[in-house]
Amino acid sequence: MAVDRRLNLQKQPSEEFDIDIDFSNATPLASMNLVSATASAIKWPRKIPNDQSVATTQILRSSTGVVLSDPDNCSCGQIVRFRLYGGISDYEYKITILANFDDGSRLEEDLFLRVREE
């Protein structure tokens, strides 16, 4: 699943899938290449007032993303992949992705994930 910036996602607790975060439109120079990315998740306080704790139920398969390097893709070197899974139904999570580029630049992206059993 490709994720456009500022997107809210929804999944069921048993679903597991990859998300691709494309930083190509956020980088000032097309020549900047993504070298690493990490992600973290917290319970989002809109659903749990005054609680911004680290998600106790796993929502990210790994906190380290995989940088995609498909030479046929025009965004080569600017896309990172993470795998989502688990979560508790009726909870929302804020996922923060920190991307590091080869010129020393660092970008941050926040995604919001709602887990809901349907």
Contact 105, 32 (CB under 8 A): yes
Specify the pTM. 0.77
Question: How many C-beta atoms surround the C-beta of residue 65 within 10 A?
Answer: 23
Partners of 99 in beta bridges:
37, 107
**23: amino acid identity, one letter:** F
Residue-by-residue pLDDT tens, the chain, 118 positions: 444 445 688 999 999 999 888 887 776 666 678 889 999 888 876 655 555 565 555 788 888 888 876 655 555 668 888 999 988 888 888 889 999 988 888 988 888 899 988 8
User: Which domains, from first to last, does the chain contain?
Assistant: 2-115 (2.60.40.10)
What is the 3 state secondary structure string of the chain?
CEECCCCEEEECCCCEEEEEEECCCCCCCCCCCEEEEEEEEEECCCCCCCCCCECCCCCECCCECEEECCCCCCCCCCEEEEEEECCCCCEEEEEEEEEEECCCCEEEEEEEEEECCC
